[in-house]
Each structure stands twice: as structure tokens, then as C-alpha cells.
Amino acid sequence: MRIIAFILLGSLTCSLLPANPAAAEAPAAELSVRDAIILGVVEGVTEFLPISSTGHLIITTRLLGLESTAPLTNAAGEPLWHKPPTPANPAGEPLTLKLAADTYIVVIQIGAILAVLLLYYGQVHHMLLGLLGRDSAGLRLFRNLLCAFTPVAVVGLLASGWIERNLFSIGTVILALIFGSFLMLYAEYRRKRRSGIGREIRDPSDLYATQALAIGFIQCLALWPGMSRSMVTIVGGYFAGLSPARAAEFSFLVGLPVLAGAAVVKGWRSGPAMIEVFGWGNVLLGIFVAAVSAAIAVKFLVTFLSRQGLAAFAVYRLVLAALLAGVFYL
């Protein structure tokens, strides 16, 4: 487990290394310790609850005033570049506070990943044994995670640019919160009707590959900020016949490659720019706070879903959507 954690941290660290090491010593803009802690808590708490971490982080960065698109400059007043001017793109892409903040809220997901790795060490260990041919259930679980991960990975890579340009706004988050709420209520209604009639699947490793793939396609909805990756995979687990607790656990495990892939890709593309703006200290602080708060949230969610189901989270999302509409549009 420690080896896996070090590999993840190593991959992310390499993707974040700035092209100009000296720039990391003098951040171009300040992210306060308070802001880093707030963003870390919001990421950790909301990443695995079915309420949308991306949506809450978009709202939080706006409330913290981290949405400025004004080009940043260094101490000498020279412009800083995310993508320097080239013959093909003479204007280049200036480095902005918003670009750095958008990268930050994705990269600190590594904290949530580490929390799941530690809490679900047993399942990860079984999958490793399965890959070595020593645990058939572990091999089936790995197969199912791969099936659930592949669709969202492909669609995410192909559509990431369009999503960032068109869906990262308060309005789209509000719509996703509302749509997701009704999807959750419908899934909960179906589950209760099925209870006592059909047989629940006892473990995610018992899913058929086609069921896991269907969960993967449903998970593509989570690329819409405000929808919630955790929510759609739990709903997909409901539809496949998993109990609330098992659907949540499968969602946590599917999140490992999804979140790691998003953090590494985003870090590779914009990590050096983020470090140039904020410096290393608050990035590492955000990751640590996200890890602690995610571990607490995961334990809470499994217990709560087993007793109460998804309905309370659906109501929360509707209330939040109404509040956001009132604050930003009325």
C-alpha cells in the first residue's frame, strides 16, 4: 500500500514540477493558508458525498475571490505565461489566478485518493493478488473497476477542453444539482421497490462486466460539474443491484483511477503554472487537509446510506440549487 501511495505521489509531483524552479520560490499571487484549508476541507468532504465536489469547489473559489482572469506578472512587471506566444498562437495564453485555482482544485484530489487507499487497503490488496493469479474475486473486482473507469476516461480525455470552456459556471452547476437530485430520488424509489423482491448483489466483485461497464457510462454524467461522480456511480450501483453501502464502496474504488487520472492530466497540463502562482506550500497543505476530511466523509457516508439512503442528499442538492439561484441570479 505504501508503494502504491508513493507511486501516486511521485507521478503527481513530476507532473507539477515547474519549468523555472526559481519561480516556485516567489509565488506570483497569494493563496492564504485559510483559503488552502477551506478548499482542502471542501474537496475532502464533498469528493465522496453525492453532492458534487467540483460544483462546491467552483462555488468556493468564486466566494474566495479566486476567479480573476487578469494576466499575472512577475516582480519585474513582465507577463507570466501558461502557454508562451508561438508563431501558430501569437497571443499565447497568459497565466491567470483562475487558471491556477482551477488546477488547484483538481490536483488536491490526490488527498482523497490517499484516504481511500488507506481505508480500503483490503480490497486493493485483493486486486493485487488477483492480478498475480492468487485471488479470483480480486481479479473480478479489478476487471469491474477497469470496465467502470474506461468510458469516463475516454470521454473525459476527448471532451475535457470543451467541458472546461462551457460547463465550469454557476449556472451549469445549478442545473446539474437539480437534475442529479431527481435522478437520486428515482434511484432510491426503484431500490425500495426492489427491496425484498429481488436479490441484492452482495459484493462489487460479483457484478457482471456488462453491469460494471454500464456504471462506467452512467459515470460520464459526472463530467458535468455539479452532477457528482460519487452520486452517479452510487446510482449506477443501485441500478445494478448493489446495496447502498456496497454501491458507495464501489464508487470509492472506481474513484481511485478516475481521480488519479484527472489529477495527473491536469497537473501535467497546468501544474507548473499553478506552482508558479501559488507556490508548493499551500498545494501540499490542501492535499493533506483533503486526505483527512475525505477519510471522515467516507466513514460517514457508508453508515448514513445504510440507514437513510440517498433521499436526504437529494433534498440538500435542491436546497443548494435554490440558494445559488437566489444569490447569483435573483
Ordered mean pLDDT values, 10 residues apiece, the chain (330 residues): 46 46 49 92 94 86 88 79 85 86 89 93 95 95 95 89 83 93 94 71 91 95 91 95 93 91 83 82 92 95 92 95 88
Contacts by 197-201, CB closer than 8 A, 24 or more apart:
198/241, 199/241, 200/241, 200/242, 200/243, 200/246, 201/240, 201/241, 201/242, 201/243, 201/246
3-class DSSP state of 82: strand
Gap between the Cα atoms of 87 and 71, Å rounded = 20
**Is 159 domain-assigned?**
yes
**pLDDT score at 19:** 42
**pLDDT score at 15:** 45
**pLDDT score at 199:** 65
Find all residues with CB under 8 Å of 242, minimum gap 6, and list them: 200, 201, 204, 207, 250
Gap between the Cα atoms of 127 and 135, Å rounded = 7
**Is 12 domain-assigned?**
no
Domain containing 113 equals 30-67+93-329
**pLDDT score at 74:** 73
**Is 82 domain-assigned?**
no
**Is 19 domain-assigned?**
no
**Is 108 domain-assigned?**
yes
Whose cell is 501511495? That residue is: 5
Q: Which of 64, 78, 39 has its CA nearest to residue 288? A: 39
**pLDDT score at 167:** 84
Number of structural domains (the chain) is 1
**pLDDT score at 180:** 95
**Is 78 domain-assigned?**
no
**pLDDT score at 151:** 94
Burial per residue of 224-241, b for 16 or more beta-carbon CB atoms within 10 angstroms, e otherwise: bbbbbbbbbbbbbbbbbb
**Is 320 domain-assigned?**
yes
**Is 203 domain-assigned?**
yes
Terminal-residue alpha carbon distance, the chain? 50
Query: Which DSSP symbol is given to 132?
Result: T
